[in-house]
Amino acid sequence: MKEYLLKELNQIWTDLKKVHPVLKSILLFILLVTPISAISLIWQIKDAELLEASKDMTLKSPFWPAVYHGSVKAPIIEELTFRGPAYVLLLTLLLISYLYSKKTGKPSTLQMTVWPGWTVAELIVWPMLLLLNYFWAIDHPYPATVFAAGLVLGWLMLKTKNILYCIVLHAGVNFVVIAASRVGTKLLS
């Protein structure tokens, strides 16, 4: 039985490696960010003052301007601000590494794989992503949710090396949150 389970888990892991990082990110949002968000919401419901402020903000703001600001403007600005610099650092490190290896004929330390699928350069960039993410999250009403979402988007950025995926996923998640909060607030009223 144990061997069968290990074989099945290994097959699932192998199949998951073939899945595009955007789909993996959506799965991470569902499995990681949603439970954290639900716990934050439970805390909010216990805090009557925060719940009232949230209801007022949701019901008083017109829907389409909220969608524009939350699902178009914010994802573009936030992704370019918080994922962009880390990506530029990664590219710079890799460029320096490439030029060094071309000049010396030796492989660069930054391009070495130190963990399956992870280079030294990526391991240097992750602390920067964590730090930027932390400072962005502490300013939000739901810091744990924002921090977890930022980790998923940071991972997506490093895996795809394409900020457009991060912007689109961020916009989609924000749209779902705006629409769900609108429906949820009307149900609670």
Least confident piece of the model among 13-22, 44-53, 146-155, 161-170:
44-53
Q: Quick check: helix, strand or coil at residue 112?
A: coil
The pLDDT score that the predictor gives to residue 54 is: 65
pTM: 0.73
Comparing 125 with 160, which gets the higher pLDDT? 160
pLDDT bin (cut points 50, 70, 90) of residue 76 is very high
Q: Please, is 71 exposed, middle or buried when counting C-beta atoms within 10 Å of its C-beta (0-12, 13-18, 19+)?
A: buried
The widest CA-to-CA distance across the chain, in whole angstroms, is 69
Least confident segment among 69-78, 116-125, 145-154, 166-175: 116-125
